[in-house]
Structure 1
C-alpha cells in the first residue's frame, strides 16, 4: 500500500507498481534473522514483499482489506511456495494478528484510520514473538497527504513513544520530494523503522 485512498483504484495501483523492486528495508530486516520463520505482511498490496519472503523460505500471512490485493499476492507468489502462504482479508480496525517473528508494514500503516491506530499497534506489539521484529514505515506530519482525515500521521516524538518497549535497530526520518504512482511529485515525510521485541530474561 502506498497510494492515497481515492481514484484511481487500488487495482490500478497494484498494476502500476507491479514491476517495482523489493523494498531495501525488507531485505535489511530479513538478513537480521538467522533462519526463516513466520512473517506477517500487513497491508500486502500487490504481494511483492510477500513473494520475496516466500522465496527466502518464510511462512507468510498476507493481510489486506482489498480482495484485489490478496488476489494479486497469490498470483505473484512462487507456485512451489504457496503452501506457506495464508491470506486474511481484514481492515486494520478489526484485524486479528497471529504470532509472528516478523511483521512487515511497508507504507501501509498510514492508511489506518487514526481512531483505530492504537488498537492496531497493540495488535502488532502483542503478535510479535520475543526476539521478533517490526519493520515498516510511518508517515510524518509534513507529508503531502496530511490533510486526509482517514490517514494517520505522526511526529518523531510519537514514533519514539510507540517504540519505547522495543529495541530500536533502525529509525530513519526522511523528508523529500518523491515521484508517486499517479499524482506526480509529492512532498514525502516518513519514518523507516526496524524494531526488535526484547527477549525476556
Structure 2
C-alpha cells in the first residue's frame, strides 16, 4: 500500500467519513506544499514547518476542519491564513470559490504559484489582516481560520451568512479548542471538535503583534 492510501486509512479510523474530503486529500499532492527537505514526510500524519515560522497542518486536522464545514459545490468560502496553500487547495475541490487571506506576502506568493501549477482557477488571494476577514466578497457560506485567536473576531459574524459555518481554533497562546460555530441571527452556536495547537492569529481583532 502506498503512503497516500495508508494516510487515507488512518484518517478513516480517526473519524473522517466524508468521502468527498478523503477524495480531495487523495487528489491534492501534499508534497508540493512542503520545502524540498521535507517532501519525503508529506504523507505522515503530522504538522510540519514551513517558511515564516508557520506550519502546514496535520492532515487529520485539515480533514477534520474541512469535514466540519459541510461544504456544498455552490458554497463560497473564506479562508484566513493561506500558509502553504495546502488547506486552500483541499477546499477548492469542494466548493465554488475560495477567498483566502494571508498576512505574510512571501507565503501567499509561493502559494499562488502552487495554485497555478495545479490549475486551480477558483481561488482568490489577498494579503492583509485576516482578523478583519475580506468584506468585499461577503457574505460567505463558510469561514475557516487556520490560526488561533483568543475569541472569535466580530468581523466573521458580520461576513458569514445566517446559518453559515465557522471553524476556528479558540483559546490561549499554547493550547486551544478547535471550535465549530454556527451563525444565528444574533449570536453563535458553538461546539468543540477537539483540542489543538495553532500559531497565533495576529491582527486588530486577534493577538497583538509583539
Q: How much does 1:73 deviate?
A: 2.3
Q: Distance in 2 between matches of 1:43 and 1:101?
A: 17
Ranges of 4+ aligned residues in structure 1 off by more than 6 Å? none
Structure 1 runs not aligned, ≥5 long: 1-8, 145-152, 182-201
Map 1:1-201 → 2, pairs under 5 A: 11-13=51-53, 17=56, 21=59, 23-30=62-69, 32-77=70-115, 79-82=118-121, 84-92=122-130, 95-97=133-135, 98-106=138-146, 108-110=147-149, 121-140=153-172, 143=174, 165-168=187-190, 170-172=191-193, 174=195
Q: Normalising to structure 2: TM-score of the pair?
A: 0.54
Report the secondary structure of 1:44's partner residue.
coil
Q: 1:79 to 1:124 in 2, by over 3 A?
A: same
Specify which structure has the bigger relative contact order, considering alpha-carbon pairs within 8 angstroms and separated by 6 or more residues: 1
The TM-score normalised by the length of structure 1 is: 0.56
Name the Cα RMSD after superposition. 3.8
Cα distance in structure 1, aligned partners of 2:160 and 2:98 = 14
Number of aligned positions between the proteins: 144
Q: 1:165 to 1:75 in 2, by over 3 A?
A: same
Contact 2:139/2:159 (8 A) holds in 1: yes
Q: Structure 1 residues 65, 34: closer, same or farther in 2, change over 3 A?
A: closer
Distance change >3 Å, CA 63–CA 139, structure 1 → 2: same
- Give deviations 1:16-75, integer Å, cap 9, x for gaps: 748x53612223224x24434111110121111110011224301110111122113223
Unpaired runs of 5+ residues, structure 2, are 1-48, 200-210
